[in-house]
Amino acid sequence: MVEQTLILIKPDGLKKSLTGNILTRLSETKLEIIGAKMVKVSWQRANEHYRHLKDLPFYDELIKYIMGEYHKKKVMALVYWGENAISKVRDICGKTNPEEAESVSIRGAYGRITTKGVYENVIHASANTEDAEREIKLWFAPDELIIEAYPVVETTERVKTEKWK
């Protein structure tokens, strides 16, 4: 099945200068990148992204982590597209817990568990098609992707925004 999946190079991945390395590993999948950008993660977006974990004890620490409190205040967001994109990317990332992830996987090679118990695992990748749709729509606007990944509607809403002076 042709799918799209959201990748985030998390703040620890950026701080450790792993961007090039991670993109090289992901290129093994032969998938296409259909969107890419640097993002300063707002509290709202962090909470929306991890809303399924809201009741877990490490949640507040996780929000601080993804917002870059402990590393750099940014993530790199990408959308990969192609045949079985979700599982291809997840396989290269490895298991959530870096200690359980295969040592050749991205998380196995570069992740760690903090003293506060958070898995700093350098990369996020959507887990299934429902998550991918929710996450891609949360992180990207339709015109930031080079293909129409999901149906769009036209709008003439007026929103306050910035443009170059």
Residue 25 or 49 with smaller CB distance to Mg ion = 49
For the segment 67-96, give every residue that binds ligand UDP (CB under 6 A). Answer: 96
The 10 Å Cβ neighbour count of residue 95 is 16
Q: What is the pattern of x (binds Mg ion, CB under 5 A) and - over residues 91-130?
A: ------------------------------------x---
Q: What is the pattern of x (binds ligand UDP, CB under 6 A) and - over residues 20-39?
A: --------------------
23 binds Mg ion (CB under 5 A): no
Query: DSSP of 11-47, one letter per residue?
Result: HHHHHTT-HHHHHHHHHTTTPEEEEEEEEPPPHHHHH
Query: DSSP of 92-137, one letter per residue?
Result: HH--SSTTTS-TTSHHHHH-EE-TTS-EE-SEEE--SHHHHHHHHH
Is 124 noted as a catalytic residue in this protein? Answer: yes
Kindly list the catalytic residues. 124
In the complex, which residues of this chain contact ligand UDP (CB under 6 A)? 53, 58, 62, 96, 118-119, 121, 124, 127
